[in-house]
Structure 1
Amino acid sequence: ALTARATKGGPLDFAVEFGVADAAGMIESVRRFDRLTKDLALAYDADTRWTRRIRPDEEVLYDLLAHLKKHPVEGVAPKRTLVYGVTFTPKPGNEKYNAAVSEFTKLIGATALRDDLEKADAVGGLIRGYTDLRGVPTPKLEEHCKKLAAEGKARDIAVVSLGDEIGLAVPPAGDHAGFRAWLRSQNVKPADVDPGATDIEKINYSPTPETARANPGLYYWSKVYGYRYGIRQLRERTDIIRKHLPGAGIGANFSPHHKNLYLGDTHHWISVFREDGMTMPWGEDYIWQVPVGSQQMNFLMVDMFRAGIRNKADRKIHYYVMPHTPGNTPASWRRQFYGDLAHGVKVFNLFEFRPVQAAYTENHCSDPAMYQEVRRGLHELGRFEDIIQDGQVEQGVAGLWFSEAADVWDDYGRSLGAGKRSLYVAIRHQQLPLDCVVDGDDLSPYKVLSLRDRHVGGAGSKAIGEGVKAGGRLLATAGAGMFDERNQPNKDLRALLGADETALDHAKEDVTREKEHLPFAEPMETVKVRTNATELKFGAFGSRSRFKASGDAHVLADFADGSPAMVMRTEGKGRAYYCGFLPGLSYFRPAIPKRPVDRGSTDETMAHFIPTAFDRGAAMLIATPAEEVSRPVRCSEPLVEATVIRAKQGVVIALVNWRGKAVKGLTVTVAVDVPAKAELASGGAVKASGEGKTRTFTLDLEVADAIILR
């Protein structure tokens, strides 16, 4: 900003001219401002020498508004969906600028877009207030909430934030009394904690690495107590807030970038919400900044949140869908937006939704094309938001196992976390709708259960076995299910799988970021698949399980050294499969080229690269347990992810294209009851055929869309 002061008194009247050097070194004028009478606030580009652009800061908004007006969109703005974001700040006394801010907000269609989120009052019947209470200590929280109610603000608050990228509180190191009291409340016997113990009063809280080695039972229960302690601290605050702000969703943004990328701990991402530690799961999709295997892995985190609020229809998932540019791209944002909708998100947050010249943080949005894409997506949502807000994602036919035993023993270390999230994507590519299931859940609805966790508790192991006996299919991968919650050999699952592990070997270099590590990884072994036709071969990466196959297990694949790589065993009406490798990493390996990892801002960069050339042999093995499982929805292109969301007034089938290019003439065959009238959210053409429980829809799909059925 240029501050103008008169040196001799009287009114100001001055001119300012800016120039930059041209190729010959001469100064070229790029902008002149005449007859100025007050301070001049300017906006410039980082590459002003090349853009030749310097503007008054107000023109940043005016130029963006002019761009949006030139490009109308289909659809209607949402009215029931909370879409938060921080945008341009009004200027006191500047009616033209303030009117432009209002017009911009209306054009975008975001329902809670403000310069200050805490100023978002109710509009059109939508409660959209937002308040951050992380700084209010628990002893003063009730008083603070009462004040909000007394001021008439409580009824207008829709979202309460308790923090950003938070972890859970842990007990004090000497919290032995609290630990013992909790053990008694769980009816845990002393010998369950320590085989030699007879008196709870002599058991001490001890979640240390030394205890893990010397007394794994005590370590397990100490860690689980720690999880309950942290959840209890959150719930104490949440209960106070719910009493005074009953209509608000209470949450805190969880970052999927900590510990294991895009694979959260069960107690943190699921148990917190099942136990009402908070009521609004809340996360972020900065996945386009991280070289994991595919941006599709983001939806595993949303599915974990969805597991956290299962059977709690009034709860809503809140998710940042980051439009920041340079960094993200319009196509990537659209894919993430529709994917988040498909997996259960109902509250959206654009975070910093203003250009760099007006932004407070580095997370600005400076590409007019991104604003247009966000506007387009929101106006498409307006066509079916009633189904999103009133409906639920249909239950899956496949389950992916999670448990706190895996948290206790850090089962996603080394390459094992990448092995789980890559398996998740491979399962989705089999067109199997999937839910995250937790130890203790009813497994009967699931035709196929996939297990990646190395440790499974006794009760969970028995439930898995009963599910297989009843006709289910189980797929376990390298080391999965080999140990129980006390880190002892899991006899039940070893017998069920027909695999008795003798060692779990890890590669010299771990695969933790697939795009960065997997293309350069050396295979630990070669897997040879036994088929009736040609022999298929592919590499095993990250980890390899050495195991003895039981006499009643059938070998489906071998390692090059002749030892079994994959076996199948029949139990009752079902089958259990054990892979001595990480099939997800084998599946991804040929699909990721040897290219430098980058954070470029185009769809061609490695940050936004979409893998498609997956290994055929690994895909076949991953598909084997589900060969006889019917799919509710089948797409002619299997890399198009289809998800069904159902409400009383209709059905939405969200379509997200992971083929990396447009799919012309895509057919979507639906084998569940849906209404007959179909339209696309984008306004594009869709042809419907068939009747009853089998209907087919034909359309052209660019990046993402939704079939709306009413």
Structure 2
Amino acid sequence: MPLPPLFPHCLATLLALTLALSASSQTPPPTNPNSAPPWNPRPVRVYAGPDLLQPVATKTNEPALIVAEGEFFRVQDAKGWQVVHQDDSYASHTYGGMWVMNGGLLGAPAASDGSVAVRKINVTKPGDYRVWSKYQSPPYFNYHHRLEVLQGGKVVYSHDYGALSGDRFYSFAGAYKAPMIKQQWWYWGVDHDAAEAPKGKFATLSAGPAELRLTTLKNPAPAGDRFIDTVILTTEPSDTYIGYKPYNSGSPFAREAIKNSQIWARFKNAAAAPVQLTATVAGHMQPDYGGMSGKFPAAPVAPGQWSEWFNIASICKLVHEEGVTLGFPAGTTFDFEVARDSAGHDPLGSLKVTGGDVLILPIDVAWNLDAKIKTSKQNAEEITALAKTQWRRANGGKKPSQLAYYGAFAKRPGQDSWINALKDSLGYNTQLPDTYSHLERDGYHQHTHSTAEIQSYTSKLSEKDKKNFRILSFGDEIHIAKINYGDAKYVDLFRAWISKKGLTQSDLGISPATAKLSDDPAQPRLRWYSNIFSEETRFAEFAEMTRLAERLLNPDVLTGANYSPHGPVMYYGPIYQWIDIFKFRGMSAYWAEDYIFSVAEPPQMIGWMMATARSAVKYHNLPIHFYVMPHAPGQTAENLRRSMVYAVGAGATQLDSFWVAPPENFTENSVAWAYPESFRAISESIYDSGEAESLAVGGKYRAARIAVILSKATDFNERVLKVDPKDDPFARQCQMDFGNFQQTLCRKDTHGIWLSLRNAQYGVELITEDDINDGVRGQDILNNYDVIYFAGEWVDDRIAKKLDGWVKNGGVLYACAGLGRLNQFNQSEGSLLSLLGLKSATIQKTAVNVRPILELPLLTPIDTLTLDGAKLPAFAMKQVLTPADAKVIGTWADGSAAVTRRDYGKGKAIAVGTLPGHGYIHSAAKVTPWARGGRRMVYPLMTSDSDKNRLVHLGVSARPDLQREVITSVTGIEGLVIDNAKGTLVTLVNWSEAPAKAVTVQVRIPFQPTSARQVSAQKSVPVTYANGVATFTLDLAQAEYVLLNK
């Protein structure tokens, strides 16, 4: 099941990028006072390996090659260098374009200066060697280190690597036919394996011993930690590596390192005839998904004899955990031994194996003295036993009976029994044989992309299978594309739609009788309505597929398509796709995925995703099916626990782990056997939800009195706005083409506003402009809210009239990030400015596309804003406001108006002439390179400093009577509430790394609870009730369910 890089099915989009040179500049000095994560890699016990490193065996006509892996360098002092497991580095993943050989690196903190590590090498082919350093290089930071080659007591080569200005290969350079460049920009964030070597500079070496010396150097700001994967010496003089041309390696020089792999094995032939082992591995390393096999040893082994030692790693790629299928004759048990050296002096262990067993080689087996070898079956049986005997099993040991848990456990012939036992022990309750407990209706299929595919698939099902069917997918990480505007069949359909909508020439800017679909910016009104028609046409196509599935399967079947939030605006999906299609019931279940650990977003963004989902399903009370990806390495067990519990507490009723185990049966996204803590998080979270489901299922997520508007006008226009990467201080440093480069300022600002409010424990809902204009299910929604936030340069020209009466009656409107100065047609708009009490507002921008924990921590303020005496930095956008009847309450450094408040009737309208959400994120973000996932990189964006929240909180502060539904005595905890006829489910998520002790929790509920059940503690906690508030105290690790029963 091959997958392309990064996220499934993204390669076609990524390959559209081409190389283009742009102007370069230096990263601005950081202004954020927040420190980088501390240098705290976990200690590892390291196998030293041979003192003298031998070259890789190459053919006579091939360049000489020496591969010195970072984990085998000898550290000479305590000034910085140490061996680091990839989990504690910038390289925690095993997919996409990040591949660390053997899962180990030589690392040193950013502040280290003068630390030395050495590696002795043997040169067998004299010549001029190009000297490459392959290291981790997330963008915009320095990673200075010196690499020297010594021979005969002299330094014969010296060069300083890792400067911002250095040219290097990055991940996927071969895919994009990219030469060595200084900095990279990709919309998803980073894949940042880098290899650097100066052009025209060589180490001239004679045959014989030599020494490599790595030294940390003074690292100018912005400074990153140093992580060296490998040092490569090659007599190939040009800028190339294996897999560059033709493209066959996502990570530069990974394939050279793989050629150097050595793990040795031997077996004793217990069969009656001579035996030669056929060993096979599947392909997991993007883009080389093809498997490999080999016969070992070179000749068959006589009965009763031990084979010679052979290098089993010669068919492996130990840039990930590797599963080696042992093709011994069936029915015979063999003794099998594994060692790190060719003589067996450093044994890894011995096993009893039979034909078809899968030997698991952990990624770090070559150097980590704590790495263990086992078969896949042994790993599974150990986890199964732990799940049954050691891990918490809430709900009396019974699986959930209403919440559905999906997860793929791929089986090869003969593996059914122990894989099914593993899946069952973890608590999964779908797609198991009837000998195990599972939901009665759990049928599931991925994917049918058309009515023809639905008909073909369903025709092969039995009537029982059709009745059993629960959910059918229409695609994975799909994008709902535009219709073909040039197709003549749409001309009459479009004009009929115009007539049905009652649109006139003034609406369209053209006579309805002559209107044709157009994407021409010069016809902005026609362009807008053409886009709406395209969307609704596509919705109808999906609705037809849904109705067909209901007819051919069963009336209750659900349909959905996995939405990936990894587009140009991370975790802000286009409104038409993420919300509107569900209003039209194009699909009957919301389906999205959580890969938050893998992109430059904080882990709390799962909350934004669930809020988006609830906004979408509210029109027809549809269910939410949600991927919570357990991928390890990458996703930590702690954040996996938070996400699994959060999803249920936020309203999801179907959770999907995508691919789980055995990892060797998948290409990526699975859980490596080396991470039992991830299996534990899965199991305990599933069983915990078995108790929570009595209140979660059939309950209603508690409505909030605060809303953030998802503006379709801003979503569309900001998406199509023509921007130049050279106008962005970070993008202009980079040298990749910007095919997916968009302005993101307005849409991302809603994220920051939402994060600030949620961190302050305010409930927040997401609504659309259509919700305001048209209502929801025939009901006006504005009276449901006390405070509404709007962020965007563009606004639907109809909503100001609706909001006017709402503000006059006591509502608080907070507008920012452009103040709706333009309408949905990208034309000047004064209605929202007038409601805000403004005559006009200028606009200035100093950035275009700023990711929250990638570029934003380094961004220089555009100006300083003074509010209530506090000096607040503002970022990327500045508007000078000219009041009509609004009062100036905040000023720019030159005294001009930056923030105003209009007292209007019983309500208030607040205008903020910058990006307050970006300001909040900047105040909470850390100045550190951002990589992907793992223990080191993922952190929440939180601050409770009143000044840092002041600007965002102007809206809620204007309504001091506004009540919060859940308040905790410890900051950094998010509370979610589902009300049910039987009681109230309170879900608490602790986003802080450290467990919280003795947390007092106050929950507003309309009844006195008879008990408060803390699920993870498996006990009731004392609860008091007064003035409509239930109060209890508990300890909180990562996430918890509390059942307040009637």
1:538 corresponds to which residue?
A: 872
Q: How many residues align?
A: 679
- Residue identity matched to 2:475: G
C-alpha distance after superposition, 1:199-248 (max 9, x if no partner): 312112102xxx22x22111111111121122122112112112233111
**Structure 2 CA distance for aligned equivalents of residues 693 and 14 of structure 1:** 69
Residue 82 (str. 1) matches residue 404 (str. 2): yes
What secondary structure is seen at the aligned counterpart in 2 of 1:283? strand
Which moved further from structure 2: 126-135 or 341-350?
A: 126-135
Give how far 1:67 is off.
3.7
Give how far 1:362 is off.
4.5
**Structure 1 CA distance for aligned equivalents of residues 914 and 434 of structure 2:** 52
Contact 1:20 1:52 in 2 (8 A): no
2:965 corresponds to which residue?
A: 632
1:477 corresponds to which residue?
A: 816
**Structure 2 CA distance for aligned equivalents of residues 171 and 130 of structure 1:** 29
- Which of 189, 200, 204 aligns to 2:504? It is 189
- Residue identity matched to 2:451: T
Change (3 A) 1:26 1:15: closer
Change (3 A) 1:496 1:356: same
- Which of 361, 366, 372 aligns to 1:44? It is 361
C-alpha distance after superposition, 1:489-516 (max 9, x if no partner): 3222111112344432222x44532111
- Which of 24, 29, 37 aligns to 2:347? It is 29
What secondary structure is seen at the aligned counterpart in 2 of 1:338? helix
Give how far 1:593 is off.
1.8
Contact 1:587 1:616 in 2 (8 A): no
What secondary structure is seen at the aligned counterpart in 1 of 2:707? strand
Change (3 A) 1:338 1:26: closer
Contact 2:448 2:475 in 1 (8 A): yes
- Which of 448, 451, 464 aligns to 1:138? It is 451
Give how far 1:364 is off.
3.2
Give how far 1:425 is off.
0.6
Higher helix share: 1
What secondary structure is seen at the aligned counterpart in 1 of 2:517? coil
Change (3 A) 1:433 1:340: same
Change (3 A) 1:201 1:594: same
What secondary structure is seen at the aligned counterpart in 2 of 1:513? coil
Residue 422 (str. 1) matches residue 752 (str. 2): yes
C-alpha distance after superposition, 1:154-188 (max 9, x if no partner): 11010100000111132212233332121112111
- Residue identity matched to 2:987: A
Mark the runs of 5 or more structure 1 residues left unpaired by the alignment: none
Contact 2:431 2:438 in 1 (8 A): no
Contact 2:376 2:662 in 1 (8 A): no
What secondary structure is seen at the aligned counterpart in 1 of 2:392? coil
- Which of 295, 299, 320 aligns to 2:603? It is 295
Contact 2:924 2:943 in 1 (8 A): yes
Give how far 1:695 is off.
2.1
What secondary structure is seen at the aligned counterpart in 2 of 1:350? strand
1:468 corresponds to which residue?
A: 807
- Which of 47, 50, 53 aligns to 2:372? It is 53
- Residue identity matched to 1:601: G
Residue 413 (str. 1) matches residue 731 (str. 2): no
- Which of 339, 362, 375 aligns to 1:19? It is 339
1:553 corresponds to which residue?
A: 886
What secondary structure is seen at the aligned counterpart in 1 of 2:445? strand
- Residue identity matched to 2:654: V
Change (3 A) 1:557 1:107: same
Residue 176 (str. 1) matches residue 515 (str. 2): no
Give how far 1:423 is off.
1.0
**Structure 1 CA distance for aligned equivalents of residues 378 and 670 of structure 2:** 21
**Structure 2 CA distance for aligned equivalents of residues 357 and 145 of structure 1:** 30
Give how far 1:684 is off.
5.3
What secondary structure is seen at the aligned counterpart in 2 of 1:101? helix
Aligned pairs for 1:62-101 within 5 A:
62-76=381-395, 77-87=399-409, 89=411, 91-92=413-414, 98-101=416-419
- Residue identity matched to 2:596: I
1:158 corresponds to which residue?
A: 470
**Structure 1 CA distance for aligned equivalents of residues 828 and 1020 of structure 2:** 57
Contact 1:122 1:129 in 2 (8 A): no
**Structure 1 CA distance for aligned equivalents of residues 862 and 916 of structure 2:** 13
What secondary structure is seen at the aligned counterpart in 1 of 2:470? strand
Which moved further from structure 2: 251-260 or 459-468?
A: 459-468
Contact 1:651 1:674 in 2 (8 A): no
- Residue identity matched to 1:480: L
**Structure 2 CA distance for aligned equivalents of residues 124 and 593 of structure 1:** 45
What secondary structure is seen at the aligned counterpart in 2 of 1:126? coil
Contact 1:567 1:578 in 2 (8 A): yes
Contact 1:81 1:346 in 2 (8 A): yes
Contact 1:583 1:618 in 2 (8 A): no
What secondary structure is seen at the aligned counterpart in 1 of 2:618? coil
Contact 2:759 2:942 in 1 (8 A): no
Overall identity of the aligned pairs, in %: 25
Q: Runs in 1 of length 4+ with deviation above 6 angstroms?
A: 3-14, 119-122
Which moved further from structure 2: 636-645 or 565-574?
A: 636-645
**Structure 2 CA distance for aligned equivalents of residues 481 and 320 of structure 1:** 35
Contact 2:695 2:983 in 1 (8 A): yes
- Residue identity matched to 1:127: R
2:65 corresponds to which residue?
A: none
- Residue identity matched to 2:607: F
Residue 616 (str. 1) matches residue 946 (str. 2): yes
- Which of 527, 533, 537 aligns to 2:865? It is 527
Give how far 1:146 is off.
5.7
1:448 corresponds to which residue?
A: 787
C-alpha distance after superposition, 1:607-646 (max 9, x if no partner): x122334553241232222232122222223431111101
**Structure 2 CA distance for aligned equivalents of residues 267 and 424 of structure 1:** 20
- Which of 604, 614, 622 aligns to 1:306? It is 614
C-alpha distance after superposition, 1:531-570 (max 9, x if no partner): xxxx2112101222233122x2111211112111111101
**Structure 2 CA distance for aligned equivalents of residues 512 and 363 of structure 1:** 31
Contact 2:714 2:747 in 1 (8 A): no
- Residue identity matched to 1:706: Y
**Structure 1 CA distance for aligned equivalents of residues 766 and 631 of structure 2:** 30
Contact 1:587 1:614 in 2 (8 A): no
Contact 1:590 1:615 in 2 (8 A): no
Residue 283 (str. 1) matches residue 283 (str. 2): no
- Residue identity matched to 1:68: A
Which moved further from structure 2: 237-246 or 519-528?
A: 237-246
Change (3 A) 1:465 1:638: farther
Change (3 A) 1:226 1:243: same
Residue 258 (str. 1) matches residue 567 (str. 2): yes
Give how far 1:61 is off.
1.4
2:516 corresponds to which residue?
A: 204
- Which of 769, 777, 799 aligns to 1:439? It is 769
- Residue identity matched to 2:947: G
Change (3 A) 1:103 1:620: same
What secondary structure is seen at the aligned counterpart in 2 of 1:153? helix
Residue 333 (str. 1) matches residue 640 (str. 2): yes
C-alpha distance after superposition, 1:411-468 (max 9, x if no partner): 6824223211111111112322111112232211011101013222232222222221
**Structure 1 CA distance for aligned equivalents of residues 593 and 576 of structure 2:** 18
C-alpha distance after superposition, 1:332-376 (max 9, x if no partner): 111112222222211100111124334343543431011111111
1:376 corresponds to which residue?
A: 684
What secondary structure is seen at the aligned counterpart in 1 of 2:387? helix
Contact 1:120 1:128 in 2 (8 A): no
Aligned pairs for 1:637-656 within 5 A:
637-656=970-989
1:399 corresponds to which residue?
A: 707
Aligned pairs for 1:544-583 within 5 A:
544-550=878-884, 552-583=885-916
Give how far 1:78 is off.
1.1
Change (3 A) 1:47 1:139: closer
Q: Report the TM-score when normalising by structure 1.
A: 0.89
Q: Report the TM-score when normalising by structure 2.
A: 0.62
